[in-house]
Chains A and B, each alone.
Chain A
C-alpha cells in the first residue's frame, strides 16, 4: 500500500515543484527579460495539474484525507456504522473504477489521434491523459489494501 502510494506521490510531488518553478521562471522571464517560458499555461494546465491531482489520489486514500461529513456518523450505532462503511467502500470503489475505465478509454482514443491542445504553440497532451486512469486505479488499490489491512488487523 505504502509503495503504491509512494510511487504515485513522487509524480505528484514533482508536478507541484515543477509548477512552482516553471511559473516563477515564466513570471521573472516575462517581466525582467521580456522572455516568457513558451507554453507555460499549457504545461501547467494539461500536465502539472493533471499529474498533481490524480497521482495524489492514492496518497489521499492512504491518509484517509477524503472529504466526508461525519456529523451524523458519530452518533450511529455499530450496525449503522458498519452499513455506512460498506456503502462508502462500495461507492468509493465504483467511483474510482468507473473513472479509471472511462478515462482510460478517453486516453486510448486521445493517443490514437495524438491529441494536442490549442495554445500559443501546438502542444501534445495525450500522454497526460493516462495519469487519470493510473491515479484512479492506484487509489482503488489503496482503498482495497487499506480495507484488507483493517480486517486482518481486527482478526489478530
Chain B
C-alpha cells in the first residue's frame, strides 16, 4: 500500500536523501511493495512546526521532527537538544540521542503522549564559525556580527564579545557577501552544497559550537500498530541502515565541505588558545547550570540524571567508534545493533504506551 512521508528538506539534502528518499526505495523493495511511501519534501505537505501534529492526525504516516519546535510538548527531548551544544562528535550525538528516545521510558513517553511512535534520531555535522573575515581569537571576535540559532549559541557569542544576530538561514549567504553578517554558526556541509557558503566565506574556525539533533522517523501511532510484525521488522532494519548511512553521509560531506573550501582558497584552521579556552570555560559553566536552567524553562524536575546519562552515552560511543573506520557502514551498523537495537524488541516496540 502507498503511504505518505513528510520532510521539509530538499530531496537531495542529507536529511531527506538518506532517511527518506533512499530509505523508502529500500523499504518498498524489501516488503515487495506492501509498504511504500510517497515522500513530500520541502515542507510541501507539512511545514516543520506542524509535522508532529500532522503525523499524529494522519496527514502523513511518517515525518522528520525537530523537537526544538515543540519545547512544551517534548521538554526532556529539549533538554537533550540544549545539552548537544557541547557535543563534539556527530556520530556520538546521533547514536546517544537515538538510544535515549527509543529506550529511556521518560524520553520515549513524551513522543507517545503526542500520538506518535518515535524511531531513530539524527545529528548534523558539528557547527563551526564560517566567516567573511578571520575570527580565530577573542580580539578578532569582538564586535563581529554572528548569525546564531538557539540560546546557547547566543550566550556564547555574547560571551566572546560578538553580536548575536537572528536572520533566516536563507539570508546567511547574502549577509556574509554584503557584510551584514561577519560569521554564521553552521555545519560544514553548507560550505559546498546547499547555500555553498564557501563562495562568500574567507575563513572557517574549527570550533565545535553546537549541532542539530532530532528524530528522523516519527510515525502515526495507528499506522505503526496496524503493520504486520514482519513489515515493522523491515522498517526497523532499514532505519538502522539509513541511520548509519546518514551519519556517514554527514562525515563525508562535512569533510568535503572543509576540503572543498580549502581548495577554493578559504582558510580553515582551529581557533587560537584564548578562543578555545573561552569555549571550554563556557561549556563547563553551561553544563553545570543546565539542569537548573532547563528545570525552570520547561517546568520539570532538574534533569541531572538524564543529562549525565546523555553525556556518558556520547563518551561511550566515542570510545567504540575510535576503533573503527568512520566510513565503514557494516562496522557502524554492527555497533548500532550491538549497543542499541539488540535491546529493542520490534515485536512490541511502539505497540503500547
Q: Please tell me whether chains A and B touch each other in their complex, using a CB distance cut-off of 8 A.
A: yes
Residues of A within 8 A of B (CB): 30, 34-36, 39-42, 113-116, 118-122
What's the minimum C-beta distance from A120 to chain B, rounded to whole angstroms? 5
Known: A30-B145, A116-B72, A118-B68. A41 touches B166 (CB 8 A): yes
Partner-binding segment picked from B123-131, B149-157, B201-209: B149-157
Q: Label chain A's interface by main secondary structure.
A: loop
| Complex interface: chain A residues within 8 A of B88 (CB) | none
What's the minimum C-beta distance from B154 to chain A, rounded to whole angstroms? 5
What's the minimum C-beta distance from A3 to chain B, rounded to whole angstroms? 35
Decide if B165 is an interface residue (CB 8 Å cutoff).
Answer: yes
Q: Are B166 and A119 in contact (CB under 8 A)?
A: yes
Query: 8 tightest CB-CB pairs across the interface, nearest first?
Result: A113-B72, A120-B154, A41-B166, A120-B166, A118-B68, A34-B163, A114-B72, A115-B72
Task: Determine the distance from Cα of A42 to Cα of B150 in the docked complex, in whole angstroms.
Answer: 12
Q: Are B72 and A30 in contact (CB under 8 A)?
A: no
Task: Determine the distance from Cα of A41 to Cα of B164 in the docked complex, in whole angstroms.
Answer: 12
Known: A113-B72, A115-B72, A122-B297. A34 touches B143 (CB 8 A): yes
What's the minimum C-beta distance from B48 to chain A, rounded to whole angstroms? 10
Known: A30-B145, A34-B143. A122 touches B71 (CB 8 A): yes
Q: Are B165 and A116 in contact (CB under 8 A)?
A: no
Task: Determine the distance from Cα of A42 to Cα of B154 in the docked complex, in whole angstroms.
Answer: 14
Of B69, B73, B167, B168, which one neighbours A118 at CB under 8 angstroms?
B69
| Complex interface: chain B residues within 8 A of A114 (CB) | 72
Of B72, B145, B167, which one neighbours A41 at CB under 8 angstroms?
B167
Residues of B within 8 A of A (CB): 68-69, 71-73, 143, 145, 148-151, 154, 163-168, 297
Task: Determine the distance from Cα of A30 to Cα of B297 in the docked complex, in whole angstroms.
Answer: 28
| Complex interface: chain B residues within 8 A of A121 (CB) | 151, 154
What's the minimum C-beta distance from B131 to chain A, rounded to whole angstroms? 17
| Complex interface: chain B residues within 8 A of A35 (CB) | 163
Known: A113-B72, A122-B151. A30 touches B165 (CB 8 A): yes
Q: Are B71 and A118 in contact (CB under 8 A)?
A: yes
| Complex interface: chain A residues within 8 A of B143 (CB) | 34
Give the most central of A30, A115, A120: most B CB within 10 Å. Answer: A120
| Complex interface: chain B residues within 8 A of A30 (CB) | 145, 163, 165
| Complex interface: chain A residues within 8 A of B163 (CB) | 30, 34-36
Q: Are B148 and A120 in contact (CB under 8 A)?
A: yes
Task: Determine the distance from Cα of A87 to Cα of B116 in the docked complex, in whole angstroms.
Answer: 40
Task: Determine the distance from Cα of A45 to Cα of B151 in the docked complex, in whole angstroms.
Answer: 18
Identify the closest chain B residue to A106 (Cβ).
Answer: B53
| Complex interface: chain A residues within 8 A of B69 (CB) | 118
Task: Determine the distance from Cα of A146 to Cα of B143 in the docked complex, in whole angstroms.
Answer: 56
Task: Determine the distance from Cα of A114 to Cα of B166 in the docked complex, in whole angstroms.
Answer: 23
- Known contacts A30-B165, A36-B165, then 7 further A-B pairs from the complex at CB < 8 Å, ordered by chain A residue: A39-B166, A41-B167, A113-B72, A113-B73, A118-B68, A118-B71, A120-B151
